[in-house]
Structure 1
Amino acid sequence: MNDVRSAPAIVVMGVAGCGKSVVGEALARALGADFVEGDRLHPPENVARMASGQALNDAMREGWLDAIGERTAASVTGGRKVVAACSALKRSYRNRLRGFSPGVVFLYLKIDREAAWGRVASRKGHFMPASLVDSQFAILEEPADDERAVTADATRSVAEIVTKALG
């Protein structure tokens, strides 16, 4: 578990509604690390597409993943730890992020469809509608044993998740 504590870059990943942002912010505070909110790096056309209930395809995610990768790499290059919130749903997306920060560790917030849907449906002021939760589960590739990743139960409290991640 201490992989997270020693990693120069951590990506908090999972489907919409799993708590990436709130856990990522808390983890960054605990580590004294920079925080990158991946949702803020989506280009306007991606946000508009999702807001209209249309899922993104792989090509639409490339520039967004690169923006997150560039921000994490800039922190690491500057000698700072960094935590980023990014869905990173597919292994290919995680590989793309690894290209920017090879030592990155992923903190996978595992949640079931019903809990994720309920959380997304109750959010206020977010572009991602609950109707897209199923599309996220449809493409989700959980981290494999050969990936540097830690899995946490996303239904636990933020404090419990951070404590588990820091091992």
Structure 2
Amino acid sequence: MILPQQYLDAVSPFFRTALDTLKKGERLHPAAFIGSFSTGQTIPIVFSGNSDDEKDGWAYHIKQLAAIYAADYICVLMESWSLPQKHAHLYKDILHKYGSVGASPYAQDVISISIETPTSIWMSQRPIRLLPPSKKRRAFDLPAAGDFQRYTEAAGRFSGLLPNSQLIDPTSG
């Protein structure tokens, strides 16, 4: 199953804006986009996530706004670190040795994208690369519908934010 085109069409402009930001050599700030198909309205929220408490607070506000505006989807974009596939199986060892993925020599800068719908959360990570000869200008390949992985179970502060979410939290119960 691939991401329904309706969602991709709604959120693709946000990907292009993120790409343009990186190409200018600027840092991408975490952002959520709360969207409603019935009104055609999208509410952008740029947030910071310097601490777990801040992230929890922003997740709470995003969830409240999604309820107020009867959102059909929430798209969250943020820079993060990931491990290349060949090192993914070493995740626990890397955390133990370096304290975080970002502190390890294997860390890869990525754009993490989640699109929450009432029944699923769609995830994609796009590797960020430098645009030579610059050391600041960066880019990533825009995702297509087939670049997203669908999950019906999700846990974490930025999942289950829609008011009518049917996502299953595998950590509860």
Q: Do the two structures share a fold, i.e. TM-score over 0.5?
A: no
TM-score normalised per structure 2: 0.30
The structure whose residues are more often strand, as a share, is: 2
